[in-house]
Amino acid sequence: MGAFYYHDELPGTFTDEHNSGKPVSLEQLEKIGVFYRHFETVEEVDVVAKERNYKNRDEIVLSEATFPGGPEALQAKLEVFYKEHLHEDEEIRYILDGEGYFDVRDDNDRWIRAKLTKGDLLILPAGIYHRFTLSNSKYVRALRLFKDEPKWVALDRGTDQAESSFSRTEYLRSVSVN
């Protein structure tokens, strides 16, 4: 089951839990356009994907044992995923096995951490700043669902491309009318 809380913002290894002890409700997440569901089967994921017109998906495995290039290459990949960024399209993540943390910015620019394990599904709206990391168990297998062509492009916070992107403008508009 998903667990949602404010990140403690303390220094240290980013794969640590960083639980501040301040919980976050699903209503709070919805206000910033983030949706959580728990599904036992991929068939249930398929229903959501169909409803929302998703056309593509892939499966990603992040583990020290199987990552091409080994543990160092995995660590480098994790650092990329942990850089604060946005995407131009909404996207769905569904955890098939293992666990991971998605951090999303709330409306006061504070980090909310979503700890996801097997069966958890998260919908991230286009234009929200976020980042991802494995936990200390260093293993996840997940489905990544894309509306159209897989868009791997991550626009890093602080760059003009991110700040002035259509998705960012639209995202800020959508949360301000909530």
Binding site for ligand KMT (CB under 6 A): 60, 81, 93, 100, 132, 140, 142, 144
Q: Which is nearer to ligand KMT, 114 or 140 (CB)?
A: 140
DSSP character at residue 151: -
The tokens 């800020």 sit on which residue?
172
- Which stretch of DSSP H or E encloses residue 3? strand 3-7
How far apart are alpha carbons 76 and 174 in whole angstroms?
34
Question: Rounded to the nearest whole angstrom, what is the least distance from the CB of residue 62 to ligand KMT in the complex?
Answer: 7
Q: Which is nearer to ligand KMT, 21 or 90 (CB)?
A: 90
Question: Rounded to the nearest whole angstrom, what is the least distance from the CB of residue 113 to ligand KMT in the complex?
Answer: 14
Indicate the residue type of 46: D
Question: Rounded to the nearest whole angstrom, what is the least distance from the CB of residue 140 to ligand KMT in the complex?
Answer: 6
Q: Which is nearer to ligand KMT, 47 or 153 (CB)?
A: 153
Q: Which is nearer to ligand KMT, 32 or 140 (CB)?
A: 140
How far apart are alpha carbons 176 and 174 in whole angstroms?
6
Radius of gyration of the chain (CA): 16
Residue nearest to ligand KMT (CB): 132
Give the residue from 101, 100, 104 showing the smallest Cα distance to 85: 104
Question: Rounded to the nearest whole angstrom, what is the least distance from the CB of residue 156 to ligand KMT in the complex?
Answer: 12
Tell whether 91 is in a known binding site: yes
Alpha helix segments (H runs only) across the chain: 26-31, 42-51, 70-81, 160-163, 166-176
Backbone angles phi, psi at 100, to 5 degrees: -165, 170
Tell whether 85 is in a known binding site: yes
Please report, in range form, the residues annotated as the binding site for Ni(2+). Answer: 85, 87, 91, 130
Please report, in range form, the residues annotated as the binding site for Fe(2+). Answer: 85, 87, 91, 130
Please report, in range form, the residues annotated as the binding site. Answer: 85, 87, 91, 130
